[in-house]
Structure 1
Amino acid sequence: MPKARILSRRTLFRGKVFSVTTELVREPNGITARRDVIHHPGSVVILAVDHKKRALLERQFRHAAGKYLWELPAGRIDTGESALAAAKRELREETGYTARRWRRLLFYYASPGFLSETMAVYLAESLTAGRATPEADESIATRFFPIAPLVRAAAAGRLEDGKTISAVLAYAARRQRD
């Protein structure tokens, strides 16, 4: 697959989670353009479903959104870590739960026009409760929700978190197909 050729790159910001560059590129179609890119190592999203077919969601304050949101557990993939290992770690840290069965449900780019972040969505089943160990800056409440009302909420626009909407609808579509 053809790739863009980077003619020049300048780093504008380098932080703990991401960096920002401005790049002069020649794209495969021959167009030369300046592109600003947020570089991110990738994230995982976990759709943890219990034996009653309920999904585990978290409620936490999201500064960029300016409010509390219900969303699936998720987090960044650490350097040298596989996506599956990150998913297992994030579920355990944020919720205390572990799962015996894991399956990748989706893989997508969060916003490919300017962001390199990928999202690997995993289905986690056969759950066992444990003790959460969230990071110092995380205050997370958890609750199980039946899948069917979540699907209706996603379809009606009542869920506001993109990764949660994608995962819930993909899970529902897969259940209909299987």
Structure 2
Amino acid sequence: MVKDFRSSIPPQITLLSRSVVFENTVFSVFADHIADNSGHQVERYLSVLPKYLVDDSIAGVAVIPVANERIGLIRIFRHPVGRWSWEAIKGHVEPDENIQAAAVRELQEEAGFSVLPDALLDLGFTAPEAGVIKARTRLFAVDVEQSAARTVAGELGHGEMVFYSRGEIEMLIAEGEIEDASTLVLLFKYWFQQHERP
């Protein structure tokens, strides 16, 4: 068993001041003046805070639908990097919504699959960009009925959803077609959990 040292280590960085740089309905962006215990300082450290967090800094969910041992990924164009990639279904938890309900809603909205919350396989957490964003993502997989390619409607930059075998996904990763950190961690955790099952 790995010991958790996080609770026994005092905070290493102190927030000296904070200025709002930008806000929208989902995020607040700050320029923080911070200092560590050795006296090092950064006067405009970029910090992004989601407007809504639940249970230990969870701001979002990522979920992969699985059908006949094939994993569904969505083709998405990401404006900041100007590239297409294959990604898990992802989204923010809304106010007054628990994490499982958010995963079920995102699965329905982005891929058209209806599942019950207790059908979700909980695969833990990831911190997509812990150096900048105060947010963790809860990871899930869920068995679904359909495994054919399908069109994903209603989301900016979203293309089709395709179900891939593990070998095909490994090839997509090797070719740089899957770069999203949350998707990569989710795939790893899902495959690791499947391998560890009795």
Of the candidates 33, 41, 49, which is equivalent to residue 41 of structure 2? 33
Do the aligned partners of residues 47 and 136 (structure 1) sit closer, same or farther apart at CA in structure 2, a change above 3 Å counting? closer
1:108 maps to a residue whose letter is: T
Give the Cα separation in 1 of the matches to 2:79 and 2:154.
Answer: 16
Give the equivalent residue in structure 1 for 2:135. 117
Give the equivalent residue in structure 1 for 2:33. 24
The alpha-carbon deviation at position 73 of structure 1 amounts to 0.9
> Could you state the TM-score of these two structures normalised by the residue count of structure 1?
0.82
Give the Cα separation in 1 of the matches to 2:27 and 2:125.
Answer: 20
In the TM superposition, what whole-angstrom CA distance separates every residue of 1:18-67 from its partner, at most 9, and x where no partner exists?
Answer: 1111223455x4646333201124221101111x1111111122211212
Do the aligned partners of 2:73 and 2:161 also contact (CA within 8 Å) in 1?
yes
Matched, 1:48 2:65: yes
The alpha-carbon deviation at position 13 of structure 1 amounts to 0.8
Give the equivalent residue in structure 1 for 2:100. 84
Do the aligned partners of 2:110 and 2:155 also contact (CA within 8 Å) in 1?
no
**Stretch moving more, 113-122 or 31-40:** 31-40
Residue aligned with 1:110, SS: coil
Of the candidates 175, 180, 192, which is equivalent to residue 161 of structure 1? 180
Do the aligned partners of 2:99 and 2:138 also contact (CA within 8 Å) in 1?
yes
Do the aligned partners of residues 90 and 31 (structure 1) sit closer, same or farther apart at CA in structure 2, a change above 3 Å counting? farther
Percent identical: 25
> Could you state the TM-score of these two structures normalised by the residue count of structure 2?
0.75
The alpha-carbon deviation at position 158 of structure 1 amounts to 4.3
Give the Cα separation in 2 of the matches to 1:74 and 1:136.
Answer: 11
Do the aligned partners of residues 86 and 134 (structure 1) sit closer, same or farther apart at CA in structure 2, a change above 3 Å counting? farther
Do the aligned partners of residues 148 and 79 (structure 1) sit closer, same or farther apart at CA in structure 2, a change above 3 Å counting? same
Give the equivalent residue in structure 2 for 1:9. 18
Give the Cα separation in 2 of the matches to 1:66 and 1:26.
Answer: 34
Do the aligned partners of residues 145 and 109 (structure 1) sit closer, same or farther apart at CA in structure 2, a change above 3 Å counting? same
Structure 2: gaps spanning 5 or more residues: 1-6, 53-58
1:33 maps to a residue whose letter is: Q
1:53 maps to a residue whose letter is: E
Structure 1: gaps spanning 5 or more residues: none
What is the root-mean-square deviation in Å for CA atoms of aligned residues? 2.7
**Stretch moving more, 145-154 or 38-47:** 145-154
